[in-house]
Amino acid sequence: MDFQLTEDQQMIQSAAREFAQNEIAPIAAEFDISGKFPADTIRKAGELGFMGIEVPGEYGGAGLDSISYVLVMEEIAAADAAHSTIVSVNNSLYASGILEFGNEEQKQRFVTPVASGEAIGCYGLTEPQSGSDSAAMRTRAVLSADGSHYVINGKKAWITSGPVADYMVVFASTEPAKKAKGISAFIIETNQPGFVRGKTEPKLGIRASATCEIELVDYVCPVANRLGNEGQGFAIAMAVLDSGRIGIAAQSVGIARAAYEAALAWSRDRKAFGSSIGSFQMTQQKIADMKCRLEAARLLTLRAAWNKQRCKETGERNTVEAAMAKLVASEAAMFCAHQALQIHGGMGYSKEMPLERYFRDAKITEIYEGTSEIQRMVIARQETGLR
């Protein structure tokens, strides 16, 4: 087993770190307060290839591997989780599904502008009445009498990048009686009639990653924009989430690392009772526990990324590896942010320092793209063989 990164992986990691620390970190607090979408830095990320890391060059991407993707995600998240959320959705939830299940025309038309940073993609699975139970969706897509298009009606909730997206992968029921097997996937162009954006959500964390509800009102979607076959949508959604969960695991590692590094520096510099607080046993326990959880999360994330690359060649699913990485890393992010804030004491609670932002940002990693409870269910079902 070789833990050494390749020269190309080290180069992309270094480039991502330089970009994140020089371009994103200085503005992170400002955009967290305003909640505005960071269009300029996202455009620059696209110019560097970070909006289509695993997308082949012929479709406007960087053509790199899955490990490079998680390395970039960690670096960006360590500077600002909101930026990394936008990057994750573009790469994992939007582009990966079209690359795996789309035809050549769809890849050229809908992946190329997004991977190059000229456009933004988003993903619509969750609904106001269905989160973890995504098969219970109410959005309907009805095929026209002449078979040329679908008419889609329904609402999607918590759509990351929804307020600014140019394209959206949407899931809708084409045969409700079949439940999960009656769900289909569609590529939506957001500048068409019937696409309605709701208010931007006032979120606890990752505030600069604009999020809103989307309503489709008699939206006309050409059959050519259906992704995969009718009834294949649920399988597409689950496969895409396998990829997305690795991105969130990497994001979680970045948040955990930022919190840990801040706590480590503070424990050395902060004095109490005549000594650095890092010399106190209870502080040392926190530092040790944070370091162990951070490294365990990073290794599980890298393993999941490595296995994802292998599964591309074998056709296997990466479900359990992705779930384990997402579960452990997200809980490590929350733990590290909590402990780091505690080490900082009152200053950790102040907006003058980034600890309270890390704490707020970390929480969502235990919720979106499958809650921690769902990840445990996925892992346990695989291990026991029981449903």
Give the three-state DSSP class for 370.
coil
Gap between the Cα atoms of 194 and 206, Å rounded: 28
Gap between the Cα atoms of 341 and 359, Å rounded: 8
Q: Provide the annotated active-site residues.
A: 369
The full length of the chain comes to 387
DSSP class of 29: H
Residue 247 to residues 71, 104, 218, 387, Cα–Cα distance (Å): 10, 25, 33, 27
Q: Tokens standing for 132?
A: 């973890």
What sign does the CA torsion over 231, 212, 61, 6 have?
negative
Count of alpha carbons within 13 angstroms of residue 76, beta-carbon side: 29
Host H or E run for residue 187: strand 183-189
Residue 25 to residues 15, 129, 336, 349, Cα–Cα distance (Å): 14, 36, 19, 19
Residue 59 near residue 108, CB atoms below 8 Å: yes
Q: Kindly tell me the burial class for residue 315, based on how many C-beta atoms sit within 10 Å of its own C-beta (0-12, 13-18, 19 or more).
A: exposed
Gap between the Cα atoms of 114 and 26, Å rounded: 25
Q: Tokens standing for 287?
A: 């530092």
Torsion angle of C-alpha atoms 312, 318, 324, 330, degrees rounded to 10: 60
Gap between the Cα atoms of 122 and 302, Å rounded: 25
Identity (one letter) of the amino acid at 51? M
How many CB atoms neighbour CB 145 within 10 A? 6
Q: Which of 139, 102, 194, 126 is nearest to 369 (CA)?
A: 126
What sign does the CA torsion over 88, 314, 319, 5 have?
negative
Strands 211-222 and 149-160: antiparallel
